[in-house]
């Protein structure tokens, strides 16, 4: 998957006809945030005279916001919409794939889409 990938309406309708789908689910990236965090160290004491110094550490967190929409394939009407925010060190593509799988499982569980 690429962030600049644009799928044409004709391509979607062709796939709907080919696979006899009655719904289309589209997930897109709507926001991305990367944050560097530094956790200060300190001194850890042990016993009467001993201590160690902890220098601290830094880390990077990545938050990705995805919007998922479920449409009726025949009318193009929006059936369901949701936004998810995920914190992960994985690539955006992997995050999107994991979110899509989770959303589809949840939609099946709540009978918004039929299991195959």
Threshold 0.85, pTM exceeds: no
Of all residues in the chain, what percent carry a pLDDT higher than 90?
A: 15
* Residue count of the chain: 116
Asked if 34 and 12 touch (Cβ cutoff 8 Å), the reply is no
pLDDT of residue 1: 43
Helix (H) or strand (E) holding 63: strand 50-72
* pLDDT tens digits, 18-75: 998 888 888 888 888 888 888 887 777 776 777 777 788 888 888 888 999 999 988 9
DSSP string spanning 6-29?
---HHHHHHHHHHHT-SEEEEEEE
* pLDDT tens digits, 71-107: 998 898 999 999 988 877 667 778 888 888 998 898 8
* Domain boundaries, given as residue ranges, for the chain: 28-109
Asked if 25 and 88 touch (Cβ cutoff 8 Å), the reply is no
Cα 8 to chain center, whole Å? Answer: 22
């Amino acid at each position: 998957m690429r962030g600049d990938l644009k799928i044409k309406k004709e391509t979607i309708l062709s796939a709907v006809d080919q696979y006899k789908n009655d719904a289309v689910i589209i997930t897109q990236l709507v926001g991305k945030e990367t944050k560097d965090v530094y956790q200060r160290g300190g001194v850890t004491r042990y016993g009467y005279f001993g201590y160690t110094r902890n220098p601290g550490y830094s880390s990077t967190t990545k938050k990705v916001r995805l919007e998922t929409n479920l449409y009726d394939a025949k009318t193009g009407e929006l059936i369901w919409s949701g936004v998810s925010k995920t914190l992960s060190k994985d690539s955006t593509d992997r995050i999107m794939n994991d979110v899509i799988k989770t959303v589809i499982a949840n939609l099946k569980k709540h009978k918004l889409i039929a299991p195959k």
